[in-house]
A and B are shown apart, each in its own frame.
Chain A
Amino acid sequence: MENNSRPCIVVVTDKPDKNILKHILAGIEEEGIPYEVDVVNGDELLKITHKAAVYSRMGVGIGIKQNRVLLHFSKLKIDKPILDANLNDNIKDTARNIGNNAARLYKIMPFKNMGKGIMVALDQNFSGEENI
């Protein structure tokens, strides 16, 4: 995480599943959004992914450790990522969709199906609204 000169999605990896990484990156690329991949090591993938999102000039961070994938957005609380899932089956399509969705988070386009693991907090309906 040194060169932060251009806006891109930041992907942090810790011994990632090669197939998952490849298709997540392909998913981001298919949507036409740049990314950078950094190698990290540490136990707190959640914190690191959020840090990556804050660090990303697009506000989007992805963390991959083996088959665990996290998708985070800079404006969300650290413990409430958009996605925290272990990919076990249908890896290619799911990883591709996660990559698509990371880009779509920035492009403001509807998400594709990411399977299980989408944070429950995000599925609660709205409360405490404010007009601006």
Chain B
Amino acid sequence: MKFIAGVDVGNSTTEVAIADIEKDLNFVSSSLSKTTGIKGTLDNVVGILNSLTDACKKINIELSALDSICINEATPVIGDVAMETITETIITESTMIGHNPDTPGGLGIGIGKTVYIDEIVNLHSMEDVICIIPKSVDFEIAAMRINNALDNNVKINGLIVQADDGVIISNRLRKVIPIVDEVSLIEKIPMGMIAAVEVAAPGSNITVLSNPYGLATIFSLTPDETKHIIPVARALIGNKSAVVIRTPEGDVKERTIPSGNLILFGKQEKKVGIEEGAVKIMQALRDVWPINDVVGESGTNVGGMIERVKQVMGQLTKQNSSDIKIQDILAVDTFVPQKVNGGIAGEFALENAVALAAMVKTSRLPMESIARKLEQETGIKVLIGGVEANMAVLGALTTPGTDRPMVILDLGGGSTDSAFISKTGDVKSIHHAGAGEMVTMLINSELGIDDYNLAEDIKKYPLAKVESLFNIRYEDGSVCFFQKPLSASIFARNVVVKENEMVPVHSKHSIDKIRIVRREAKKKIFITNVVRALQDIAPGNNLRTIEFVVLVGGSALDFEIPEMISDELSHYGIVCGSGNIRAKEGPRNAVATGLVISYYNSLKGI
């Protein structure tokens, strides 16, 4: 018996493969554990020992029974992500309230001067008003006062209410008028101004206040003024209820934030503005490809953003941040729900943003010191194997049904790594910025959930809606029933279904919306990167010269990413699927397996 162990330290997992090479190459065990510390640091040794012990236990041997250990020459590639908002919506003089309280009251549209409820007793009859009711006034008293005023022929055409009282006030009024409730900052509403209140019928959206000509009709606007009101109308599209108040200076502005230029250094130098969007940035990148470094104009937002990325990289790799060179970027257009400046009901507007992933190649990671430490701790000979990409290819080729020429795509957390092996066995590899972490960032920002762990869960697990205290319905429509009642905290909510836990998604988005955001984020990043990778690596940059693509790495285990990629690549006649290393490991363990094969081959002199 002569046992050889291959160890692959990845960004998130450490994998081990053990083979007995006494007579033949015969794999006997494998294992997987969490990587301890940052890839390429001495902290990794703990994780390596855990994984090795685990693999040895499976075949009932002591760790000391191993003949030698091969560890990989980890590719020093680290990725990071950042995001920059490029538009901003500002409401001046609180002219607009567009929000969706669960239960507004009444129905229709009402127009009048804004008046505080205490003042309505002083009003002349036949005056058109919109009445403002603060939380301190009880709903019964408010309804009574409004009814009295209506009896005095004051035309109260609509209400703006601070508490969640829309329906109960409406039920006590003698006349059906639109009531917008749950307006939190009610004291900011200007008094004595013309306002319009609209509440849509259940199941439909407002139609007058979201239409520029509707607004023009109500406020008797000139064609020129109508042009200026467009942002208001746009901001109210899709709402169930809204208020628009016309004040002399009131306005809703949407402005582009000057974010500065990215400067790409490649075949030539090229400047591109962040606010021009992802398409332009990626075009500029292609124009100067391959690139040596990227910087942001100093003193601008993008300058700070690139600087932050480099600083993080510098800290991780213990290098000066000025020595960090960005080798690739991936820009993606996205949007961020942001609280509107000047809003009075906590309105959100979807602002445009650009997400940026950057990939940095550092100097060699200190694998030698890891190897030495491991040797000391185990007393076993430790060898540093070949290049990670070559090992991954060797391992991936053990997938049944594959042959050279072949491409492997390693879809990781920080970067998308790809390698091509030609018919003659030459290996070429490349790394691209943008992978799993960027997907998480997009999900996090587009849903506005501000919780990285939740976004990570949304990425990894299917969604379901809790439909009663006893059952959930998955996004695909299947139903799961429970004997014991479910927690009240997840009742009627959208949840992420993990192995033994359901995590509620605290946002008002529908399950379909969350699903679309999740899938789009995955497509935007992985499909873009897969096509970029294949173009860069295929002979003659022609996708059609590739026959087999094998997906490995953590994201190949995702429940939908492999399908998305297979679907896209089928247009080019490429056979694509998740790897199945040694016909039993799935897309895991490729590098560890490759290390052992490589060592065995070198012993046999192949």
User: Which residues of A are interface residues toward B (Cβ below 8 A)?
Assistant: 26, 29-32, 73, 75-76, 80, 82, 96, 100, 104-105, 108-111, 118-119, 121-132
Q: Hey, which chain B residues are within 8 Å of A32, CB to CB?
A: 103, 167
Q: Hey, which chain A residues are within 8 Å of B500, CB to CB?
A: 125
Does B486 contact A109, Cβ atoms closer than 8 Å?
Answer: no
Contact of A73 among B164, B469, B480, B484 (CB under 8 A): B469
Contact of B102 among A76, A109, A124 (CB under 8 A): A109
Known contacts A104-B492, A126-B502; A29/B485 CB under 8 A = no
Does B484 contact A124, Cβ atoms closer than 8 Å?
Answer: yes
Enumerate B471-524 residues with CB–CB distance to A below 8 Å: 471, 478-489, 491-493, 500-502
Does A30 contact B165, Cβ atoms closer than 8 Å?
Answer: yes
Contact of B164 among A96, A124, A131, A132 (CB under 8 A): A96
Residue of A nearest to B139 (CB): A26
Give A73 to B217 CA distance when docked, in angstroms: 50
Does B481 contact A122, Cβ atoms closer than 8 Å?
Answer: no
A110-B492, A126-B482, A131-B478 known, 9 other contacts, Cβ within 8 Å: A29-B167, A30-B166, A76-B469, A105-B491, A109-B102, A111-B491, A118-B488, A125-B502, A131-B481
Give A110 to B167 CA distance when docked, in angstroms: 19
User: Which residues of B are interface residues toward A (Cβ below 8 A)?
Assistant: 102-103, 139, 164-168, 171, 467-471, 478-489, 491-493, 500-502
Q: Hey, which chain B residues are within 8 Å of A96, CB to CB?
A: 164
Does B467 contact A108, Cβ atoms closer than 8 Å?
Answer: yes
Does A130 contact B481, Cβ atoms closer than 8 Å?
Answer: yes
Does A110 contact B168, Cβ atoms closer than 8 Å?
Answer: no
Contact of A122 among B103, B478, B479, B488 (CB under 8 A): B488
Give A81 to B481 CA distance when docked, in angstroms: 20
Does B492 contact A124, Cβ atoms closer than 8 Å?
Answer: no
Q: Hey, which chain B residues are within 8 Å of A30, CB to CB?
A: 103, 164-168
Q: Hey, which chain B residues are within 8 Å of A31, CB to CB?
A: 102-103, 167
Residue of A nearest to B504 (CB): A110
Contact of B485 among A76, A110, A129 (CB under 8 A): A76
Residue of A nearest to B497 (CB): A126
Q: How far is the CB of B228 from chain A (nearest CB, A)?
A: 37
- The 6 tightest CB contacts between A and B, nearest first, are A128-B483, A122-B488, A30-B167, A110-B492, A123-B487, A108-B492
Give A62 to B166 CA distance when docked, in angstroms: 23
Does A29 contact B168, Cβ atoms closer than 8 Å?
Answer: yes
Listed by A's residue number, 17 A-B pairs whose Cβ atoms lie within 8 Å are A26-B139, A26-B165, A76-B469, A105-B491, A110-B492, A111-B491, A118-B488, A122-B485, A122-B487, A123-B488, A124-B487, A125-B500, A126-B484, A126-B486, A130-B483, A131-B480, A131-B481
Does B492 contact A129, Cβ atoms closer than 8 Å?
Answer: no
Does B493 contact A110, Cβ atoms closer than 8 Å?
Answer: yes
Most A CB contacts (10 A, CB to CB) among B481, B485, B489, B491 go to B485
Q: How far is the CB of B342 from chain A (nearest CB, A)?
A: 27
Residue of A nearest to B483 (CB): A128
Q: How far is the CB of B170 from chain A (nearest CB, A)?
A: 10
Q: Hey, which chain B residues are within 8 Å of A122, CB to CB?
A: 469, 485-488
Give A80 to B488 CA distance when docked, in angstroms: 12
Residue of A nearest to B167 (CB): A30
Q: Hey, which chain A residues are within 8 Å of B491, CB to CB?
A: 105, 110-111
Does B470 contact A75, Cβ atoms closer than 8 Å?
Answer: yes
Does A29 contact B480, Cβ atoms closer than 8 Å?
Answer: no
Residue of B nearest to A22 (CB): B140
Q: Hey, which chain A residues are within 8 Å of B484, CB to CB?
A: 121, 124, 126-128
Contact of A109 among B468, B492, B501 (CB under 8 A): B492
Does B501 contact A125, Cβ atoms closer than 8 Å?
Answer: yes
Q: How far is the CB of A113 from chain B (nearest CB, A)?
A: 10
Residue of A nearest to B164 (CB): A30
Q: Hey, which chain B residues are within 8 Å of A100, CB to CB?
A: 164
Give A38 to B478 CA distance when docked, in angstroms: 40
Give A108 to B492 CA distance when docked, in angstroms: 5
Q: How far is the CB of B35 from chain A (nearest CB, A)?
A: 29
Residue of A nearest to B506 (CB): A110
Contact of A129 among B467, B481, B487, B501 (CB under 8 A): B481
Does A26 contact B168, Cβ atoms closer than 8 Å?
Answer: yes
Q: Hey, which chain B residues are within 8 Å of A108, CB to CB?
A: 467-468, 492
Does B482 contact A80, Cβ atoms closer than 8 Å?
Answer: no
Does A132 contact B479, Cβ atoms closer than 8 Å?
Answer: yes
Q: Hey, which chain B residues are within 8 Å of A121, CB to CB?
A: 484-485
Q: Hey, which chain A residues are within 8 Å of B502, CB to CB?
A: 125-126
Give A118 to B164 CA distance when docked, in angstroms: 23
Q: How far is the CB of B491 from chain A (nearest CB, A)?
A: 6
Q: How far is the CB of B604 from chain A (nearest CB, A)?
A: 51
Q: Hey, which chain A residues are within 8 Å of B481, CB to CB?
A: 129-132
Q: Hey, which chain A residues are within 8 Å of B501, CB to CB?
A: 125
Q: Hey, which chain A residues are within 8 Å of B488, CB to CB?
A: 82, 111, 118-119, 122-123
Q: Hey, which chain A residues are within 8 Å of B139, CB to CB?
A: 26
